Every structure is written in structure tokens, then in C-alpha cells.
Structure 1
Amino acid sequence: MGEFNEKKTTCGTVCLKYLLFTFNCCFWVSSGHARPSHPVICGSLPIVSSLPSLLAGLAVMAVGIWTLALKSDYISLLASGTYLATAYILVVAGVVVMVTGVLGCCATFKERRNLLRLYFILLLIIFLLEIIAGVLAYVYYQQLNAELKENLKDTMTKRYHQKGHEGVTSAVDKLQQEFHCCGSNNSQDWRDSEWIRSGEAGGRVVPDSCCKTVVAGCGQRDHASNIYKVEGGCISKLETFIQEHLRIIGAVGIGIACVQVFGMIFTCCLYKSLKLEHY
């Protein structure tokens, strides 16, 4: 009877090990080649499975880097730092994912309870980071419209072509050209621009980036045949652009966080099973 109970416990532990390994392979986008054949060869499995974890960690980081590098042109136009914070959170989470993938396989097959504890802590950190990123994205999604209406016009009219605000100048020019818009709400907003009223604009009534065909001095004429006159101005264009990306960040954050719950459950069960066998 005692022999049967010992065998049953061992089988349960083995099942948990395979479940946890499968979780690692699924969560870290396994390529399908890292399959355990027997616990005896566990020493080589962490090495085989580390490549998928690295690739998946890079994939998570890519979303954050995409925001920081390719989508950061308009960050200088935003009053809040929330959008930038979500990107940094994803980058950090990506690094933790890569480390955790390798550690998870080592902890599972070497049956080290101290490694399992560390693995659980890292899973919890990823869970919290992704939840925070998802919540921040959702909250900022709701506040974005009000923030843009309150701050975008002042940013464009008071900082455009002003010393020390070269990033804003570049962002405004790219915004107006890329989204075919002129001014925060409309082209009339530029009448309040400090740059236009200072005389440094060279007779322009709008920046040259408002023009359908950009040439030096084209902003001297604000007729509809020459500049972009769109309903809602640049606010609506920028809001749509950022909201689309926030939806991606939110989905990635909440989605990965939900998957993490299963990993933490498997880890706790395996830890408890190993503890019972030890005693």
C-alpha cells in the first residue's frame, strides 16, 4: 500500500512537470522541437527551450520598442507620460519573460524548489507588469480625448518653432503632413501662434507643413486649394492614431497576464508535490 502511494505521488509530480513545461512552451511560443522525452535528459531541455523563450521575450519587447522608436514621434505633443510609461513597462516585461522562460524549464526538470519559488516570483512580476500596462492603456484611452482638447492647441501654438522645443516642431510638421490636417481644431488655430505673430514666420499664416504640396513659403496662403482643411483638425487624427495603439498595448497586457495565472497555478502545485515527496 505504501509502495502504491509513493508511485502515485511520483506520477502526479511527473504530470505536473510536463504540464508546467507545456505551459512554458505555449507561453513562450515554442517552435515545436523542444519536447521532453524523459526526465533523465532534463539537463539539455532548458537549452533547447531557451530559444523560444528568447524569441517570445523579444516579441513582447518589440511592442514596447515599437511604441518608443516608431510611434514616439508624437509623444512630445502629449501632456501625460502615461503613453510612454506603458511602452517602458512592456520592454521590462519582455526582458523578464526571456529570463523566466529558461528558469522555468530548469526549475521544472531539476526539481529545485528554490528555483520554483524564484520562477513563481518572476511569473508574478510579469503578471503585475502586464496588468499595469493594460490598465494604464485602458485608463489613458478614456482620458485621451479630453487631454488633447485641453493641451494640444497650446502645445502647437506656443511651442512650435520656439527655442528648446525642436521636438515639438518636428512632431507638428510630421503630424500635419502624415495625417493631412492643419492646426489643432482647424487652420484658424495658427492665428494664435507665437511664431506666426512674431514676424519670424516670414509672412506665413500657417506652417508650410499644412500645405498639400510643401515648398518654402507655401504657408503664406491658407486657401483650401493650398492647405489641408479637414473636419476636426489634427486632434481627431492624432486621437485615432494613439487609441489604435493603446488597444494593442491593452490587449497584449491583459492577454498575457491571464495566461500567467495558469503558470502560477502549475508552479504552486508542483512545488507542493515536491515538498510532499521530500518528506
Structure 2
Amino acid sequence: MAVEGGMKCVKFLLYVLLLAFCACAVGLIAIGVTVQVVWNQAINQETVPGSLLPVVIIAVGAFLFLVAFVGCCGTCKENYCLMITFAIFLTVIMLVEVAVAIAGYVFRDKVKSEVNKELQQFMQNYLKDNTTAPVLDRWQKKFECCGTTNYTDWENIPGMGKDRVPDSCCINITVGCGNGFKESTIHTEGCLEKMEIWLRENILLIAAAALGIAFVEVLGIVFSCCLVKSIRSGYEVM
């Protein structure tokens, strides 16, 4: 028995939300892939708590897309079981997202420690490994930084010394600009601090996106429960 009255409006709104879920799912997968690429460039492939974050994000995105498909089928066919499944899965996704947020907060110091350690290792291998130098140069250019803590970190790197830093540390990058540098011609801040500043500047945007996704998911649960109630009422009348 087809839903009637106000439930038709709820059904339409649920379709709109399902499209939003699909968009969120694609967005999460894209974010997860981006974070994974950035993470691989920042540290080695050792398994640490933070390294699981992009994998979880991608998995949640893929699962959300599957859930949206189930919800679409349930809404189209007005199937009681599919709508119940949709509501349960959506609730599970919200719980996973909360768990990920908590894990990210709990392990934030561990992630910072790992990034610090790997940046120092990259510096040690800067003149030895052709694959390490481009990655570190890219980070120093992007964040306009030099070294881990500050530019003096390069003094302890074999082959560098007190009067030399990578050209990527320079404010105006030219070939050899890091040789015989002056403090006024290079970025003196460390990359670890600059990364933290970047995260703090973007945390509000990340939080707003997370709250937006959570709001859409809550609406999806509410509308699906309303539709389930209407479908069950229709069965009882029959």
C-alpha cells in the first residue's frame, strides 16, 4: 500500500537526502584518498594509529554509498525491511564517525610524534636518498618552513653545515639560494609548527563539514523512521 498525505512529502525529502548521502560518500572517499596520499608523503608505511584514519574514512564513504543505495531501493519500493536496514546502517555509520573523531583526538600527540620523527629521518637522508629530497622540498615550499623545529636543524645534517640549507627553505627560491644564506632570505620557522598552524586554521572548516554530514544523517534516520511507521500502518490497515 502506497504512502499518502504528508508521507509523500517525507518520501520526497528522503530522496533528496539520499542524493546528499551519495555526495557525502563520494566526498568522504575523495578526502580519504587525499589524506592517504598526503600521509604517505609525510611518513613511512609503518602502521601507527593515525595511519589508519584515511582507511577508515574511505571505508565509511564506501559503506555510506552502499547504505544510500539500500535506502533508495527501500524508499522507491516502500519496503519495510529495507527501510529498517537503512536506518540501522545509518545509525552505525554515525557511531563509527563519532569513534573516529574520538580516536583522532586521543591519538593526536602520537601522530604529531610520528610526523616529527619521520621529518627528522627525512632530513638525515636528504642528501642520500633521491626519493626523500623531493618530498621534503615539497613540504618546505608548501608550508613555507625550514627544518623540523627551525632552520638550525639543518646544521646537524651531514653535508649541510651552518651556512647551508635546502633551496626550498628560501623565500625567493633560486638554484643555490640556500648556500651562504642569511636569516632574512629564508623561512626560519619549523615545518612541524607550520603544519599545526595549518590544521588549526582549517579545523573549523573540517568541523563544520562533519556537523553538516551528521545533520544530514540524523534527518535521514528521522525521515526513514517516519516512512517505516507509515508503511507499517499501511500493512496493519490491509
State if a TM-score over 0.5 links the two structures.
yes
Cα root mean square deviation, aligned: 3.9
Structure 1 CA distance, aligned partners of 2:103 and 2:88?
A: 22
Shift of the alpha carbon at 1:137? 4.4
Corresponding residue number in structure 1 for 2:66: 99
C-alpha spacing 1:249/1:80, structure 2 compared with 1 (3 Å): farther
Q: Distance in 1 between matches of 2:207 and 2:56?
A: 12
Distance 2:15 2:51 in 1: 29
Q: After the TM superposition, which residues 107-256 of structure 1 pair with which residues of structure 2 at under 5 Å, given as runs?
A: 107-139=74-106, 143=109, 147=113, 151=117, 154-163=120-129, 166=131, 168-194=132-158, 196=160, 205-225=164-184, 227-230=185-188, 232-256=189-213
| Structure with bigger RCO (C-alpha 8 Å, 6+ apart) | 2
8 Å contact 1:57–1:94 — kept in the other structure? yes
- Describe the SS at the equivalent of 2:220: helix
In the aligned structure 2, how far is the partner of 1:130 from the partner of 1:178?
Answer: 29
Distance 2:47 2:193 in 1: 17
Q: Residues 212 and 78 of structure 1: is their aligned pair in 2 closer, same or farther, counting only changes over 3 Å?
A: farther
Q: Deviations over 1:6-45 (max 9, x none)?
A: xxxx89765345324403404634xxxxxxxxxxxxxxxx
* Amino acid in structure 1 at the alignment position of 2:223: F
Give how far 1:272 is off. Answer: 4.0
TM-score by length of 1: 0.64
Per the alignment, residue 25 of structure 1 pairs with 16
Q: TM-score, normalised by structure 2?
A: 0.73
Contact 1:137 1:246 in 2 (8 A): no
Structure 2: runs of 5 or more not aligned: none
| Runs of at least 5 residues in structure 1 that lack an aligned partner in the other structure | 1-9, 30-52, 198-202
Contact in 1 for aligned 2:43/2:115 (Cα 8 Å)? no
| Partner AA of 1:171 in structure 2 | V
**Offset from partner CA, 1:163-213 (integer Å, 9 cap, x none):** 4x82x432321122233322122221112224547xxxxx97322322344
On the 8 A contact 2:43/2:119 being kept in 1, the answer is no
The aligned counterpart of 2:32 is 64
**DSSP 3-state at the match of 1:219:** coil
Residue 192 of structure 2 aligns to a residue in which SS? helix
Which AA in structure 2 matches 1:131?
Answer: V
Q: Secondary structure at the match of 1:206?
A: coil
CA contact (8 A) 1:156 1:193 kept: no
Write the distance in 1 (CA, Å) between the matches of 2:19 and 2:100.
19
Q: Percent of aligned positions with the same letter in both sequences?
A: 25
CA contact (8 A) 2:42 2:115 kept: no
User: Residue 3 of structure 2 contacts residue 231 of structure 2 at CA under 8 Å; is this kept in 1?
Assistant: no
Is residue 64–residue 90 contact of structure 1 (8 Å, CA) maintained in 2?
yes
| Cα pair 1:74 1:171 within 8 Å, conserved | yes
CA distance in 2, matches of 1:20, 1:247: 33
CA distance in 2, matches of 1:159, 1:247: 36
SS in structure 2 at match of 1:184? coil
